[in-house]
Amino acid sequence: MDFDLTDEQELIRATAREFTDNEVVERSRENARNHRFDLELVAKIAAQGYLGAIIPAQYGGAGLDYVSYGLIVEEIGRGDSAIRTVISVQTSLVCSAILKWGTEEQKLHYLPKLCSGEWLGCFGLTEPESGSDAASLRTRATRTDSGWVLNGSKMWISMGNHARLALIFAQTDPTQGHRGLACFLVDTDQPGFQPQEIEHKMGLHASDTASIALEDVEVSDSEMLGEIGEGFKVAMSALDSGRYSVAAGCVGICQGCVDESVRYAQEREQFGRPIASFQLVQAMIADMAVKTDASRMLVWRAGFLKDRGRPNTLETSIAKLHATEAALECANAAIQVHGGAGYVDDHPVERYFRDARVTTLYEGTSQIQKLIIGRAKTGINAFVPG
Ligand code: COS
Residues forming a β-bridge with 53? none
55, 63 in Cβ contact below 8 A? Answer: yes
Catalytic residue (choose from 74, 75, 260, 363) = 363
Contacts of 130 (CB under 8 A, 6+ apart): 136, 137, 138
CA of 58 to the centre of ligand 1 (A): 30
- The predicted-structure confidence for 158-212, as pLDDT tens digits, reads as follows 999 999 999 999 999 999 999 999 999 999 999 899 999 999 999 999 999 999 9
Q: Which fold has domain 121-227?
A: Butyryl-CoA Dehydrogenase, subunit A; domain 2 (2.40.110)
Q: State the Cα–Cα distance between residues 295 and 74, nearest whole angstrom.
A: 11
In angstroms, the Cα distances linking 178 to 20, 170, 219 are: 40, 10, 21
Domain boundaries, the chain: 7-116, 121-227, 233-378
In angstroms, the Cα distances linking 205 to 38, 80, 292 are: 11, 10, 24
- The predicted-structure confidence for 275-306, as pLDDT tens digits, reads as follows 999 999 999 999 999 999 999 999 999 999 99
CA of 260 to the centre of ligand 1 (A): 38
Q: State the Cα–Cα distance between residues 122 and 159, nearest whole angstrom.
A: 6
Q: Which atom of ligand 1 is nearest to the CA of 383?
A: 30
Q: State the Cα–Cα distance between residues 376 and 323, nearest whole angstrom.
A: 19
Nearest CA, atom 1, ligand 1:
237
Q: What percent of the chain has pLDDT over 90?
A: 97
Q: For the residues 60-72, what does the mean pLDDT come to? A: 98
* Confidence at residue 185, expressed as pLDDT on a 0 to 100 scale: 98
Q: For the residues 17-21, what does the mean pLDDT come to? A: 98
Residue whose C-alpha is closest to residue 238's, from 98, 129, 112: 98
Q: Which atom of ligand 1 is nearest to the CA of 156?
A: 49
Q: Which atom of ligand 1 is nearest to the CA of 242?
A: 48
CA of 239 to the centre of ligand 1 (A): 9
Q: Residue 279 burial by CB count (10 A; 0-12/13-18/19+): exposed, middle or buried? A: exposed
Residues forming a β-bridge with 168? 124, 184
Instruction: Tell me the residue length of the chain.
Output: 386
Residue whose C-alpha is closest to residue 75's, from 2, 6, 23, 117: 23
- The predicted-structure confidence for 225-273, as pLDDT tens digits, reads as follows 999 999 999 999 999 999 999 999 999 999 999 999 999 999 999 999 9
pLDDT for 102 beyond 70: yes
Q: State the Cα–Cα distance between residues 364 and 348, nearest whole angstrom.
A: 26
Contacts of 78 (CB under 8 A, 6+ apart): 20, 252, 253, 255, 256, 259
Q: State the Cα–Cα distance between residues 158 and 313, nearest whole angstrom.
A: 23
What is the CATH class of 7-116? mainly alpha
Nearest CA, atom 20, ligand 1:
233
317, 293 in Cβ contact below 8 A? Answer: no
Q: For the residues 31-49, what does the mean pLDDT come to? A: 98
H/E element, 110: helix 104-115
Nearest CA, atom 35, ligand 1:
372
CA of 5 to the centre of ligand 1 (A): 32
- Ligand 1 site residues (CB inside 6 A) read 125-126, 132, 134-135, 178-179, 232-233, 236-237, 239-240, 313, 362-364, 368, 372, 383
User: Does the pTM of the predicted model rise above 0.95?
Assistant: yes
Give, for ligand 1, the residue of 236, 306, 371, 380 to mutate: max count of ligand atoms closer than 8 Å to Cβ.
236
Residue whose C-alpha is closest to residue 154's, from 203, 101, 109, 211: 211
303, 69 in Cβ contact below 8 A? Answer: yes
* Confidence at residue 1, expressed as pLDDT on a 0 to 100 scale: 82
Residue whose C-alpha is closest to residue 246's, from 319, 304, 307: 319
Q: Which atom of ligand 1 is nearest to the CA of 158?
A: 49
Angle at CA of residue 149, ends 147 and 154, nearest 5°: 135
**Cα distance between the two ends of the chain:** 45
CA of 233 to the centre of ligand 1 (A): 7
Q: Which atom of ligand 1 is nearest to the CA of 135?
A: 37
Q: Which fold has domain 233-378?
A: Butyryl-CoA Dehydrogenase, subunit A; domain 3 (1.20.140)
Q: Which value, in Å, is the radius of gyration of the alpha carbons in the chain?
A: 21
Nearest CA, atom 13, ligand 1:
233
CA of 240 to the centre of ligand 1 (A): 10
Nearest CA, atom 14, ligand 1:
233
Q: Residue 270 burial by CB count (10 A; 0-12/13-18/19+): exposed, middle or buried? A: exposed
Nearest CA, atom 21, ligand 1:
233
At 156 the three-state DSSP class reads strand
331, 324 in Cβ contact below 8 A? Answer: no
Q: For the residues 355-362, what does the mean pLDDT come to? A: 98
DSSP at 93: I
Q: Which atom of ligand 1 is nearest to the CA of 131?
A: 45
CA of 236 to the centre of ligand 1 (A): 5
| Residue 227 among the catalytic residues | no
* Confidence at residue 103, expressed as pLDDT on a 0 to 100 scale: 98
Q: State the Cα–Cα distance between residues 223 and 186, nearest whole angstrom.
A: 7
Question: What is the residue-averaged pLDDT of the chain?
Answer: 97
pLDDT for 385 beyond 80: no
